[in-house]
Structure 1
Amino acid sequence: MKSTKPIYVIGHRNPDTDSICSAIGYAHLKQALGFNAVPARAGKVNAETKYALDYFHVEQPLLLSDLYPRVKDVTLDCKIVVRQHDTLRHLGEVMRGHDLKSVPVTDSKGILVGIVTVSDLAKRYFQELSMQDLSEMRVRYRDIIAATDSKVLVSGNESDFIHGKIRIAAGSIKMIQDTVEKNDIVLVGDRHDETLIDIVDQGISCLIITGNGRVSADVIEAAEAKHIFVLSTPYDTYTVARLINQCVPIRRIMHPDPVCFKPLDLLSDIKGTMEETNYRNYPVLENGRLVGLVSRDNLMLPERDRVILVDHNERGQAVEGIEEAKILEIIDHHRLGGIQTSEPIFTHAEPVGCTATIVANMHWQNDVDIPASIAGLLLSAILSDTVLFKSPTCTPYDKKTAERLAEIAGVDIQEYGMAMLKAGSGIGDMTPAEIAKNDLKEFQIGDYRVIVSQISVMDPKEVMDLEPQLIEAMQNICDKEGFDLSLVMVTDILQEATYLLFTGSPKTLIGEAFKKDASGTHIYLPGVMSRKKQVIPPLSEAVKRIGKN
């Protein structure tokens, strides 16, 4: 059976413009090829990317904080519910008719108030060995009329609650008079009129003639005079007694305040609760409304989310829970970083300056037209990743692709590119902690876990003035998340250079990689603009040299 779940096209955590725009662009290509692809993101959209999205009037992709299995992935449809004032007979019919083991119970407004199980109904069955005091159960006359399929011979207020007990008129009239009390409901078969009138004179509230017994006009007249219900039912006395016992409202046997879950609860979090409570089914609520059930018996591994990764291929950069998902494809322009899959997948990696370059050309290779808005976003990604073609990662292929996309989008490359970079170049109201995590990527370099963030600015001074606070924020990330080194690239767009801030250890790795004095907290790197090509490779080579010494 073909899966109906969407395929999420998603970039790396702390997404940059390429990660967001390539996800949107590649999802468009997959949709054009007939796939149910949905663009997604693994983090907050930065100012530069927001400018591009707003400029080309494209909505932000769906935010996926993680891919861990959740309650929504195993929730069963729950189209059958009962109301708390429905009778047990109705409940039995619902359970039998739909082969259900449990049913949610709602009030008149549809709000969940409980859950009732087949075992609750079974317990009630054993209680039917004795006649119930319906005065305690808030049963109405209309419930009895419906349950016994009675014809109303003398009517009253059918909405009134019953205040007496159920009596069976058996034996002599003296025995009946000694048993029957005021407001009782009396079941009687084929009896003489005098006996029936004597029973009516006892001050009962309802007389039920079973087996379609004969009722004379005198009995009817006596009942009307005393405002007593008279009902005629086709069932025998024993059956009627049982049916009346089934008039008890469901709320009397349901489990009130049941254990409930929410659609976004993690399956790993609810399993402990299920083991402790050991119920068969659990309601799933969203904004207080019932949206389905989770079954303990059917709590199996759900169908895994299907994802396509763009602009990354390393586990440390992927959305949380990627190991729980099924990776279908990887479209990237970075080094291969070690994500493992359970089966062969389609990969497309090229040594170009931007993933969007690959995505755009895959459109043309498949004869799929690129709309102006998508072309504008792909162009934005190329201009961002190559810093308006100034980055050493930029290739002639990137430039040629960008020129073609600019023509489709109807924008001037230099004018639009500078406006977009300027929009993302200021730090605005970003905190030092936010700057330290801007466009953050994690790398495994030798035995060291290293994170490298990057922020591109027109005026690096506004960032460097915050150096003490930045270093503190970077060290906090290392301490809390177990990284060895934290680096922040403050890239000067105009001067085509980078201030590299660093904290953690070993600092000798920084000095060895860039042949600079690394005793402080930053070094200046003229001509360095690319993390991928000018920072990670020197660090990778340096760790090899340190290891040999």
Structure 2
Amino acid sequence: MKNTKPIYTIGHRNPDTDSICSAIGYAHLKQALGQNVVPARAGKVNAETKYALEYFKVEQPLLLTDLYPRVKDITMDCKIVVKQHDTLRHLGEVMREHELKSVPVTDSKGLLVGIVTVSDLAKRYFQELSMQNLSEMRVRYRDIIAATDSEVLVAGDEGAFIEGSVRIAAGSIETIKKVIDKKDIVLVGDRHDETMIDIVKQGVSCMIITGSGRVCAEVLEMAEKQNTFVLSTPYDTYTIARLINQCVPIRRIMHADPVCFKPLDMLSDIKGAMEETNYRNYPVIENGRLVGIISRDNMVMPEREQVILVDHNERGQAVEGIEEAKIVEIIDHHRLGGIQTSEPIYTHAEPVGCTATIVANMHWQNDVEIPASIAGLLLSAILSDTVLFKSPTCTEYDKKTAERLAEIAGVDINEYGMAMLKAGSGIGDMTPVEIAKNDLKEFQIGDYRIIVSQISVMDPKEVMDLEPQMIEAMTNICEKEGFDMSLVMVTDILEEATYLLYAGSPKTLIGEAFKKDASGTHVYLPGVMSRKKQIIPPLSEAVKRIAN
């Protein structure tokens, strides 16, 4: 399989079993056909779906809370970094070799501590009008040895920090003695042996012989007695003076605490920070560690996420930011809900009870074998959506598909189906708000923005006992999120009936749709189990009648 950006197959928000299992099943089919498709989910997994996933030992799909472009989508690899104790010479070599304008700086543990730019180096260049006080810069002898390409003639503690200043041995020995102090570093060109010995006797810490000058044995012996470094470099004195200035550690000129971003930061949120700072590059970090870099020159819109929608086709039900993504396919069993695409796409919709029915048969049509675990999940979706074949949405096609899947999965349909439905039927410790949003779907019906949630239970009394709290929660949802009405279907699996709770307005819509007295907060609908077939169509027709 090619290492391309994945395509996500994802169901609707507040996902049900079909939404999750069909996403997993369709991703399996696509992967078998050689495509890099990853299953995802747009919300929390409910108890029923959790039971199915655990029963067939399949992990929950990736959670995608939105599809807005993020920093990770434009992050570039950053394999070139420098350490804070590296020298400016090393930095210059790195920048020149790799043609970089800026380089992140890390500490010995690999944590980001700063960033350094070519302009920082240029600024430093113009400051090189005199020898720098290397003691203040905390430069080590090993830095000088490396920067000047020196051969060590008399060794010392290379890791020690330099304590004195850098001097050039110019003029007579008397002049030189007046200039140099103990612990200084002295650059010596073509000088007599006696002059070198006198310099060492002054207690200097290091003598650098420039131009690969000759050094007699007597000088070296004296240096060893005085614990004086003696270095020999091929460069002339002027060049060495400049190179020593480049021994300063990078941390002395870097931007400490640089403006950084995290991989999951949204691009829309970081534009302000980039405009304020106007840097060329920004590090991307995760847990303090550098994971990449983004360039302001690359702040064009990244390649959009590609998604396959399963079990829905309405923008209001899709994951947040769907308008920023590229929809490449739709696999569904609902009404067409008006999602627009920029170009023709593959759409597979059938009037069956479950998306998983379509997904399973697409496997067989493509001669792709369905593993037992995937078969079990697709079966779970069918049993959930058709409520063990009791829903009016159920077709013979669903039943035959389920029987074939059950054989592959090695389970008894009724026994497993009842266990799964029971696992998802109790409200447990769900709050009224959580119940009101369970398996929530949004619909635009005429001029009304309506949400319809559904919870299937063995004993509806445990939900109906919370009716006052439920209505309060539903009313708050409408007011805070701008919906006209909130409906909750409390579906009795055993009695094959639904208590329909409603809040918002117009209540006359409920009375008109179901020919019931809607003056209260719920109506009882015997034989009603399907949102798709028995709730939405009557509401749609009622809106038309009210409008006329």
Instruction: Place the TM-score, normalised by the shorter chain, in its bin.
Output: over 0.9
| Residue equivalent to 1:226 | 226
Structure 2 portions without partners, runs of 5+: none
3-state SS of the aligned residue for 2:340? Answer: coil
Q: 1:353: how far off?
A: 0.8
Amino acid at match of 2:413: I
| Residue equivalent to 1:181 | 181
3-state SS of the aligned residue for 1:135? Answer: coil
Amino acid at match of 1:496: E
Cα deviation per residue 1:327-358 (whole Å; 9 max; x = unaligned)? 11000000000111111000000111111111
Matched, 1:7 2:7: yes
3-state SS of the aligned residue for 2:94? Answer: helix
Q: 1:260: how far off?
A: 1.2
| Residue equivalent to 2:524 | 524
Matched, 1:442 2:447: no
Amino acid at match of 2:335: R
| Residue equivalent to 1:32 | 32
3-state SS of the aligned residue for 1:134? Answer: coil
Matched, 1:367 2:367: yes
Total equivalences in the alignment: 547
| Residue equivalent to 1:195 | 195
Matched, 1:417 2:417: yes
Matched, 1:279 2:263: no
Q: Please, what TM-score do these two structures have when normalized by structure 1?
A: 0.98
Cα deviation per residue 1:58-115 (whole Å; 9 max; x = unaligned)? 1111111111111111111111111111111111111111111111111111111111
Q: 1:153: how far off?
A: 1.8
Measured in 1, the distance between the counterparts of 2:415 and 2:158 equals 80
Q: 1:299: how far off?
A: 1.6
Matched, 1:397 2:403: no
**1:30-429 paired onto structure 2 within 5 Å:** 30-429=30-429
Measured in 2, the distance between the counterparts of 1:414 and 1:155 equals 85
- Return 289-298 or 236-245, whichever deviates more: 289-298
Cα deviation per residue 1:365-423 (whole Å; 9 max; x = unaligned)? 11111111111111111111111111111111111111111122222211111111111
Distance of aligned partners of 1:223 and 1:95 in 2 relative to their CA distance in 1, 3 Å threshold: same
- Return 218-227 or 364-373, whichever deviates more: 218-227
Amino acid at match of 1:311: D
Measured in 1, the distance between the counterparts of 2:70 and 2:357 equals 35
Measured in 1, the distance between the counterparts of 2:372 and 2:198 equals 92
Structure 1 portions without partners, runs of 5+: none
Q: State the identity as a percent.
A: 87
| Residue equivalent to 2:466 | 466
- Return 388-397 or 446-455, whichever deviates more: 388-397
Cα deviation per residue 1:511-546 (whole Å; 9 max; x = unaligned)? 111111111110111111110011101111111111
Amino acid at match of 1:13: R
Cα deviation per residue 1:111-155 (whole Å; 9 max; x = unaligned)? 111111111111111111211111101111111111111122222
Measured in 2, the distance between the counterparts of 1:256 and 1:397 equals 65
3-state SS of the aligned residue for 1:269? Answer: helix
| Residue equivalent to 1:505 | 505
Measured in 1, the distance between the counterparts of 2:368 and 2:313 equals 25
Measured in 2, the distance between the counterparts of 1:168 and 1:347 equals 81
- Return 39-48 or 403-412, whichever deviates more: 403-412
Cα deviation per residue 1:444-493 (whole Å; 9 max; x = unaligned)? 01111100000011110000000000011111111111001000000111
Measured in 2, the distance between the counterparts of 1:153 and 1:14 equals 75
3-state SS of the aligned residue for 2:30? Answer: helix
Amino acid at match of 2:127: Q
Q: 1:257: how far off?
A: 1.0
| Residue equivalent to 1:482 | 482
Q: 1:18: how far off?
A: 0.7
Measured in 1, the distance between the counterparts of 2:342 and 2:371 equals 35
Q: 1:175: how far off?
A: 2.4
Q: 1:20: how far off?
A: 0.7
The runs of at least 4 aligned residues of structure 1 exceeding 6 Å deviation read none
Q: 1:3: how far off?
A: 7.2
Amino acid at match of 1:190: D
Q: 1:198: how far off?
A: 2.4
Q: 1:174: how far off?
A: 2.8
Q: 1:181: how far off?
A: 2.1
Measured in 1, the distance between the counterparts of 2:238 and 2:48 equals 80
Measured in 2, the distance between the counterparts of 1:200 and 1:404 equals 94
Amino acid at match of 2:189: G
